């Protein structure tokens, strides 16, 4: 077993293969922001508590600040920059606009990434469930009611309702 303080990490980010050499102390969040110029994910607390750094890793929503980049070798990461396809907003992004679900916007990328995953998980069956399963995303502007409305609307649209 090889132990290194610098590692070459090969991963897919938003569908593209990337390879970066990083100090092994680098988190996935810092790899995205500092090494790949993907600054959509935000460093809110750098402690796993605010959710502003929420990204998708191998299909699951995680806090980018809680993952060592070195351990993402061979993994698949989706960031907020990878949501819109062919210039068209993702339905959740559109719902956030339609329902006025952000003020300063700092928590918003993490909120949207978290919401997209939450819908995929099937945890948007009612506002209470949305609130509980979005509890890992804090909003200091307190846009919570509008965020819940946006997620509920996106869930309803996805169901064809």
Write out the residues near other proteins by the rule CB under 8 A: 1-5, 7, 23-25, 27, 46-48, 51, 54, 60-63, 65-68, 70-71, 73, 114, 117-118, 121, 123, 133-137
CA gap 51, 91 in Å, rounded? 21
Q: Considering the complex, state which of residue 6 and residue 97 has its C-beta at the smaller distance from other proteins.
A: 6
| Least gap, CB of 24 to other proteins (angstroms) | 4
> Which structure tokens are listed for 161?
């309702």
Q: Considering the complex, state which of residue 34 and residue 100 has its C-beta at the smaller distance from other proteins.
A: 34
Question: Closest by alpha carbon to 40, among 13, 80, 7?
Answer: 80
Q: Considering the complex, state which of residue 137 and residue 143 has its C-beta at the smaller distance from other proteins.
A: 137
| Least gap, CB of 88 to other proteins (angstroms) | 26
Taking CA 111 as the corner, what is the angle to CA 31 and CA 69, rounded to the nearest 5 degrees? 15
Taking CA 11 as the corner, what is the angle to CA 119 and CA 138, rounded to the nearest 5 degrees? 40
Q: Considering the complex, state which of residue 41 and residue 95 has its C-beta at the smaller distance from other proteins.
A: 41
| Least gap, CB of 41 to other proteins (angstroms) | 12
C-alpha distance from residue 158 to each of 112, 140, 152, 155 (Å): 15, 28, 10, 5
| Least gap, CB of 135 to other proteins (angstroms) | 6
């Amino acid at each position: 077993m090889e132990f290194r303080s610098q590692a070459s990490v090969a991963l897919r980010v938003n569908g593209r293969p990337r390879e970066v050499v990083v100090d092994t102390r680098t988190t996935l969040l810092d790899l995205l922001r500092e090494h790949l110029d993907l600054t959509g994910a935000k460093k809110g607390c750098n402690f796993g508590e605010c959710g502003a750094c929420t990204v998708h890793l191998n299909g699951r929503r995680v806090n980018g600040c809680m993952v060592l980049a070195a351990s993402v070798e061979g993994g698949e990461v989706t960031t907020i920059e990878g949501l819109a396809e062919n210039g068209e907003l993702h339905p959740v992004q559109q719902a956030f606009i339609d329902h006025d679900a952000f003020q300063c916007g700092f928590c918003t990328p993490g909120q949207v990434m978290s919401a997209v995953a939450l819908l995929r998980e099937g945890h948007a069956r009612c506002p209470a469930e949305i609130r509980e399963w979005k509890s890992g995303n804090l909003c200091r502007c307190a846009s919570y009611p509008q965020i819940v409305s946006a997620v509920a609307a996106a869930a309803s649209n996805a169901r064809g309702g």
